[in-house]
Structure 1
Amino acid sequence: MQMEFYCDLYVSECWQKKKARIIRKLRANRVQPQVYVVALSQGSQNQLEFFSGILLRQHVFAHADLFVVGIADGYDEALAMVRDITEEVYTVTGMTDLRKYILERQEQYVKAGQ
């Protein structure tokens, strides 16, 4: 599985200090039952979706490309994170096109780094 991480990655407050370790384990496809990954949706109908760390180990994700927007501590935190992302995007843009906002910010970050 290929994972790209958002430049302004959302991370549950309790995991701020463990962020790098969690990312390393995600990239190595190690089991992290409490970790939920919030990612841009693979389909066009939805904007964000989230998966448990256990689900990501299934074979259907073996060749998936995920653009990870957030790392949450459990299901409830993942729901709250999606809500917080939506509120932030709406506050900044007046719209709820999460995908467009996130991808534009990522593109700006990449261009600034070059």
Structure 2
Amino acid sequence: MENIKIFINYIAATIEILGCITIFTGVVYSLVKSLVLFYKRKPEPFIELRQTLGKSILLGLEILIAADIIATVVAEPTLESVSILGLIVFIRTIMSLSLQVELEGKFPWQKNKI
């Protein structure tokens, strides 16, 4: 059983690294993309930067939430560890929700206006 815990902790750490790489790659990609748009004199490179960067942060946050859930489930589930996980997931969910509202101008459950 101890070997499984070690293995799953490695998996959780790998997923956390993947989440950080996702955010970092998104930052680099969005900066390069907006600079290209700026030098080509395309309209609104700043808006494109915000959109692309926000989407990469959203994806990275979702990956980090998955890693936290995996790490907490494999550890000894105490009331403290589950409470900390709940707080982390709550904060990251609020961050994701506010980012999505900022990017799309509506809540995820609202229908598109046609």
Task: Pick the TM interval, shorter chain.
Answer: under 0.3
What TM-score do the two structures reach when normalised by structure 1?
Answer: 0.23
Richer in strand (by share): 1
Richer in helix (by share): 2
What TM-score do the two structures reach when normalised by structure 2?
Answer: 0.23
